Amino acid sequence: MKRVCLYLLLFFVALSCTNKRSSVSQTNEDSKNDSLLLVQQQDSIERERIFEALGDTAFSGVCYGMKKSQYLKAFDAFKKPLKTKDGFRDFEFAGYEFYGDEGSNVENNDSKSVDGYPYGLNDILKEDRLWTYFYKDKLFSVRWNSGRCIQSERIVKYSLGKLVSYFEKKYGKPNVNNTDKFNSSLIETGTWHQMKVIARWETKKKKIIIFYRDLVGSERDKWMNENYPSDYQYELDVQFLDKTLKKEVDEYIKPILQKFADDYREKIKQDSIKDANAL
């Protein structure tokens, strides 16, 4: 009987220690999660503060709300000391060569059609497909494009890390940073050619995104493909977006897209009737 009692005593002591260790482990995990949440909240507050201090500035002298003529003047001033080629639109930043475009006016595009969609509207259905756009002659989206880049995996990681670090110095810590897994299918992707989000800075009013896209098939340089098949061939886009103005654009295009959808459904219906009557 004494032996049984001893065994029971040892069992309950061991159980108590196990529960205690489990409790301590859970407490440590909760503490770690709370600390991570606190850091994220502090990052968010700091990011909001930085963007609020920048006001309407997208980068350099380029500001959201600018007229197209003002934007072109400010963008030319930005790229002039940085460009390394004779090409009018190319400029160098963080080791990459980018170009920007003159931009499109949303309201001037909705009367035309490309591939069945109102011209221009197919590019603003998703904000990760935007180039440089104006609404009521006010700039709300700017995008840089790098063109073709060819680098080894090690150099790609270094180059992307360097680019993100430049933006981090200006805009603070990003909400998302995927520089270490640029070739992973797990990266959140946009809809335009499956561009992967390398880094994203976002507040209530503004958003900056760096996109990465692998070049495939005929897009790849043939000579480099044959001699350096393991090297990555890719392009980058950097997009600056004013979410407040983008909301106005969404409200503007909503009825246009709805009318397009209604007209398309009616066309399908009429085509079906004609086909049925032709039998």
Query: Is 196 or 28 the better-scoring residue by pLDDT?
Result: 196
Q: Where is pLDDT greater, at 106 or 95? A: 95
pLDDT at 116 over 60: no
List the domain boundaries for the chain.
Answer: 1-54, 57-252
For 89-98, 133-142, 158-167, 205-214, which range has the lowest pLDDT when averaged over its residues? Answer: 89-98
Determine how many CB atoms are found less than 10 A away from the CB of residue 249: 23
The average pLDDT across 165-171 equals 94
Average pLDDT, the chain: 79
Name residue, tokens 């502090």.
Answer: 42
- Tell me the torsion sign for CA atoms 215, 218, 221, 225: positive
- Say which residue, 183 or 243, is predicted with more confidence: 243
Summarised one tens digit per residue, pLDDT across range 209-261 is: 999 988 888 888 889 888 888 888 899 999 999 999 988 888 887 787 777 77
Greater model confidence, 121 or 45: 45
Instruction: Please tell me whether residue 217 adopts helix, strand or coil conformation.
Output: helix
- Confidence at residue 252, expressed as pLDDT on a 0 to 100 scale: 83
Instruction: Please answer whether residues 241 and 206 qualify as being in contact, where contact means their C-beta atoms are separated by less than 8 angstroms.
Output: yes
Q: How many CA atoms lie within 13 A of 174 on its CB side?
A: 20
Task: Please state which of the ranges 26-40, 136-150, 239-253 shows the lowest mean pLDDT.
Answer: 26-40
pLDDT at 114: 44
Q: Among 66-75, 97-106, 254-263, name the most confident range.
A: 66-75
Distance (Å, whole) CA 95 – CA 44: 29
211 sits in the region (left: phi over 0; alpha: psi -120 to 50; else beta) called beta
Ranking 156-160, 167-171, 260-264 by mean pLDDT, the lowest is 260-264
